[in-house]
Amino acid sequence: MAGMNPAAFQKEIVSPQRQPLYVVTGGDPAGMRGCLEAARKAVKPGVYSFNYRQFAFEDLQANSFSALRSESQTNPLGTPPKIVVVTVAEGDKPTAEQLEAFARIRPGVNPRVTVVLFFKAALSAKLKFTKEMTALGLIVECKVPDRYGLPAWVLARCQEKGLKAGPDTARLMIDRLGSGPGVLLSEIEKLSLYPGTETPITARHISELVCFGPTAEIYELAQPLAQGNLGAAVPILLDLLEKVEPLPLLYALGTYFGRLLRVRSALDAGRFSDEELMTLTGGTVSAVRQARSQAEYWPVGKIRLVTAVLGDTHRSLVTSGLPVDLLMEAACVKIGCIAKGIVTAC
């Protein structure tokens, strides 16, 4: 599937040559974010609240796309353009009929309005909708880089944040965090905020500042912990300690339980959509859904007890001089006991 690149879209959307409809697709969060920001900047500041509209795909389903059709046909207030954005989350699965409904909107779009559809997952090139939009030159591809292109992508994102880094540093970040663009972007952002990184980023910066990501192995550990199954949890923990330094592992557990706390709090408050939970947690759809499934085991009070245990363990690791494996195993046992309801205070 050949289409427009994000840079070309960002230039065209703010020009008089903008089209009535674009389809932004892919999975590269940097590219998607840049395209969304460009769409917002196309709207004149004084009339932004009138001339910028954003919908989530699930909201459109409730009113059979009538709200989108109405907004796309209504004149902007004052100076054009009016920009109407629709976000389709990674976990959403529009039917062929729904995609055709998007295609039918294009001919009726007001000449002073542009509709931009953001599909956070890549669209299949085999779909009729994709073929039609590609033929019209309306597909914007925000591709996730492959393993060969990922180091260069990391370097480019570092440069955007004013960081100096080399290929070896980029590969070290990928080795530590995995290939998920969202996780890599988050850690690059953190590095850019750290005092003293005006000098080139080194292996020491990566070791000290870049957290070991909450990967599948963290979820593998969290599942038996949630069930209080220490016989399964402790061997997984000890195996992880063979691969990862204790502090980064502790930070990854803290990240996981922090996300779990936000998800559980949102669910308790009646916020159920993945889109809302992603906004609250900064996670991917898959991470949010995994946390949602585990949140049923963890009331907010228990999660707060776990974070207290992790804080105590951090202090002990830094100050006590006791064996690392012993401290981490003790933390694991305490968390399992919290899950079982045996420990109710710290």
| Per-residue pLDDT tens digits for 195-235 | 555 667 777 777 666 655 555 677 778 888 888 888 888 88
Domain ranges for the chain: 6-142, 150-209, 216-340
Minimal CA–CA distance to 65: which of 55, 74, 75? 55
- pLDDT for residue 263 is more than 80: yes
Q: Taken in order 121, 55, 41, 71, is the CA torsion positive or negative?
A: positive
- pLDDT for residue 280 is more than 70: no
Q: What is the DSSP letter of 52?
A: E
- pLDDT for residue 19 is more than 90: yes
What is 6-142's CATH number?
3.40.50.300
Q: 0.75 exceeded by the pTM?
A: no
Residue 107: predicted pLDDT = 93
What is 216-340's CATH number?
1.20.272.10
Minimal CA–CA distance to 10: which of 62, 64, 68, 83? 83
Question: Under DSSP, is residue 19 helix (H, G, I), strand (E, B) or coil?
Answer: coil
Average confidence (pLDDT) over 261-266: 84
How many other β-carbons are positioned within 10 Å of the β-carbon of residue 170? 23
Using omega within 30 degrees of 0 as the cis cutoff, is the peptide bond preceding 81 cis?
yes
Whether 150-209 and 6-142 are alike in CATH topology: the answer is no
Residue 83: predicted pLDDT = 97
Is the separation of the CB atoms in 60 and 36 below 8 Å? no
The partner residues of 52 in beta bridges, in order of sequence, read 83
Using CA atoms, how far apart are residues 163 and 255, in angstroms rounded to an integer? Answer: 24
Is the separation of the CB atoms in 233 and 221 below 8 Å? yes
For residue 116, the surrounding DSSP H or E stretch is strand 113-119
Class of domain 150-209: mainly alpha
Average confidence (pLDDT) over 311-339: 87
